Amino acid sequence: MIDRRTQRVPTVLSIAGFDGSGGAGIQADTKTISALGCYAMNVLTALPVQNTQGVRNIYDIPTDAVREQLDAIFDDIPPDAIKIGMVHSVALVRCISDYLHAYTGPITFDPVMVSTSGHQLIQEDTIQACIAELFPKATVITPNLDEVSVLVGRSINTPEAMQAAGTTLLSMGCNAVLVKGGHLSSDTLSTFLMQQSGLTTRYESSRIATQNTHGSGCTLSSAIASFMAQGKTLDDAVSSSLDYVHQAIQGSKNLRIGKGNGPLNH
Ligand code: PLP
């Protein structure tokens, strides 16, 4: 969405992991940010070796390399909004948190923990660091139900339990939480945006029967960042992003890419 008078494009930085098969991580983020008319930039945090069937291995990116990537972006193209995805070690959480201490734009944090294929994407000791360091910095966090269950320490599978868990997550220090219901087993999927102000918004959508959902969480969080980079409020950004992901899943439900959970069609 270029401002015709200034030729300026809203800039969005995704700080996230890699998916060479093109469905999740920085690849999903870049497609989403571009499709929504913003300018996409990336800082790579980890190199998972993966495809639509699963994650085969994860190679670390050294902390210094992450800091240098951040320097290169911030020295040149300041981001209007940031999305943080896979951050799988305590050292990286601290590095990113320290780096962003003076950043005043909106930050969407997707606390990525386990892939759809069941692979652990975060080291155990990193979860507490994410809560302590990244939750307070984020404008909104966007956990799925598996991640919510890990964060609050109990299994969550009803809309009532989702709201109670959202209250617990707010008490852990985040400014707002989007408790995503994509993993509910019902035909109607409820998602809740809960904010420190006490405002709770409920969104409902119908389940789309498809296994092509690889990268849907990455897509949603980078869409929220993109809409906020364009100046939308958090509520509007979330609502537009949920629509965007729903349409992307609808548009890809019959796509045949890969042998596993296929990607979204942006
Ligand atoms: N790979 C990376 C780098 C990710 O960030 C994520 C999730 O956010 C995944 C894989 C897993 O994606 P999904 O659970 O949608 O398959």
- Assembly ipTM: 0.91
Q: What would the pLDDT profile of 188-231 be if each residue is shown by its tens digit?
A: 999 999 999 999 999 999 999 888 889 999 999 999 999 999 99
Instruction: Pull the structure tokens for residue 41.
Output: 């930039």
What percent of the residues of the chain are helix, what percent strand, and what percent coil, each to the nearest 5? 35, 25, 40
CB of 16 sitting under 6 A from ligand 1: yes
Q: How far is the CA of 61 from the centre of ligand 1 (A)?
A: 17
Q: How far is the CA of 198 from the centre of ligand 1 (A)?
A: 30
Q: Which of 115, 141, 212, 221 to mutate to test the pocket of ligand 1 (most atoms within 8 A of CB)?
A: 115
CB of 166 sitting under 6 A from ligand 1: no
How far is Cα 123 from Cα 265, in angstroms, rounded to an integer?
30
Indicate if the pLDDT at residue 94 is higher than 80: yes
Q: Which of 14, 15, 18, 19 to mutate to test the pocket of ligand 1 (most atoms within 8 A of CB)?
A: 19
CATH fold group of domain 11-252 = UDP-N-acetylmuramoyl-L-alanine:D-glutamate ligase (3.40.1190)
Q: What would the pLDDT profile of 3-23 be if each residue is shown by its tens digit?
A: 777 888 999 999 999 999 999
CB of 19 sitting under 6 A from ligand 1: yes
The pTM for the full model equals 0.96
Q: Which band of pLDDT confidence, cut at 50, 70 and 90, is reported for residue 182?
A: confident
Task: For residue 246, give the amino acid letter.
Answer: H
Residue 216 phi/psi, 5-degree rounding, is -65, -35
The CA–CA distances, whole Å, from 1 to 5, 7, 34, 254 equal: 12, 9, 9, 29
